[in-house]
Structure 1
Amino acid sequence: MAASNLAALLPVYLIFGKEELLIERALRRLRDMVEAEGNPDFDFDTFSGTNAKADDIIASANTLPFLSPRRLVIVRDADKMTAEELGLLAQYAKDPSPAATLVLAASSIAKNTRIYKAVDALGGVSEYAAPKKSELPSWVVKLFIAKGRTITRDGAEALVRAVGKDLRRLESEADKVIAYVGEKQQLERSDVEEVVVETAPTSIFEFLDALGRRDAASSLGLLGDLLDNGDALAGIHAMTLRHLRSLIGIVALRERGMSPNEVARAVKLADWQYRNLARQAERFREVELVAALRGAAEFEAKMKTSQGDPRLVFERWLVSVCDRSGHTVTRSA
């Protein structure tokens, strides 16, 4: 989808591919258009193909936009709809509403299906295939640019060698590097090598998920695995801070009375990221997360001044974050 604004969009798109990250990015760009040019509360609908009915989707698409030049309707997991339901959408694609854009997102779709042929006739079929191995370093360079940073070619190649071709993990490791270097704008190979470990069997995100569940035993075990695999404690700490800030943002917005959809738009995360963080945020109160951030800041200060064993100090802080006793999160000893 090359359109830069809602008015330039086609009436129906079918986007598919095995790389969920690429699909999510495409959908995010569309949502950003609605937020920039109209009101998503009135002119945006999303459906799940696992339980959506074609009649409801078509009714939404046929609703006139209120504040936007076009209404946007997204159907996720469209390939999970029955052939009959997809057939109804194919019929709609032959005479679609001129004031709406319907986007069907799928992991795969056969080219001989009615829906594929109908949307292809409009020029709206796009496959989001993963980059070839030789293209991955260039993809990483563009990834950092999209995040407001730059990285040298050899830095991008080092990240690809360490992580492999998993795009979601490439992005997550890029986020880890950015969190670690702070305000530094031009990243280099040395920054990557400082933080990323080649093919580490334990992911930092497994650790962060355990922390979000307030599971102290699993958090400590996964922390040990990360450290044993060579991950730098400073990098783990940086990503943990970032994770806590995301959680506190969600909790704070919820406590201000915002609906889940409003919170999701405000934090500007991919839907899969928001859903995961939202589940974790339910386990915390805002005061607990604020105290946890204070404790993390104290840990960082002690680590920089060599006060105590850094791992032990971090583990104590980690246990305090996971404490469900109702007490305020303790500061690192």
Structure 2
Amino acid sequence: MLETKKSAMLVAYAAIGSDERKKKSVVNRLKRHLDAGMEAFNLDEITATAELDPATLLGSLNTLPFGAEKRFVIVNAADRLDMTVKDMLVDYLSNPNSACTLCLLFDSLPKKTLLYKAIASVGPQAIIDCAPKKNRSLVAEVKMFAGARGMYMDDSAIYELIKRSGESGKLLEKQVIQLCTLCRAQGHISYNDVVNNISQTAEIKPWDFLDPICQRNAVAALTQYHLMVNPSQIALLVMLVGRLRELICTQSLMARGQEYVLASTLRKRDFQIDKYKRWVRNFAPGELSRFLQACADCDRDLKSGADPDIRFTQLILQICGAVQQ
């Protein structure tokens, strides 16, 4: 949307999302429209603060370009703008300077706000989506990061990296560069390389918390549980019951010699199925069914007013075998 001719560019754009690589790409594409040697006159790049004076920004927006068709004003971290500045921008966009293009970079901007509506009314391409890619899309991108540096990274390593580092493309690329340096001699990056070298910085996803429970690792399970922000014990319990049922299914199919249908039955990838096979070996026959009953008891207690944190912790310890059943 920014590859068009300068004369056809909109008077305002908003790049919205937490993917810093995408926002940087938007800014770089915008800057390519600057005439060589005129950057000092026709580019004003501002990092927003709560103290930014509305009159200062308005003055920059109303300044005419010098020796060129267009002037560009880029506002980084626009989430920090004071409401008076946002109100000024809404008024400005009702009668903007046609020789100036404004680009606002937001981590988020609700669609119901007046500023979002004012920017969207400028044109159908004024809102630029810079949200992080979903996991499936990220896998291909991370694999590309590694491949560009002559390294191979398998899916299990990529999923673990995303789980630990989050969905920021910029951060993932930095982590891949670090791993490529550490693993250069072996020519590939494995799951264990990620586990041993990348710290957990992203907020724990609820479904990732279930893995150490399946390993019956009480310390890891409680560590990840306490890393979650304001978890819903009821929601976690529902997910835990689902995982226990999957393990019961795995145990049953393995006992009948039908491992070959595990992936299609559980709708999981091969490397995930390998984990399920390992996990079920941690449980004696009939034990998983007893833990389903323990989950039902926990659900009853939670809905009867028991302390949710204490009661759910007791369930974790019970399944991990850290307390007497």
With the length of structure 2 as denominator, give the TM-score of the two structures: 0.50
With the length of structure 1 as denominator, give the TM-score of the two structures: 0.49
Larger Rg: 2
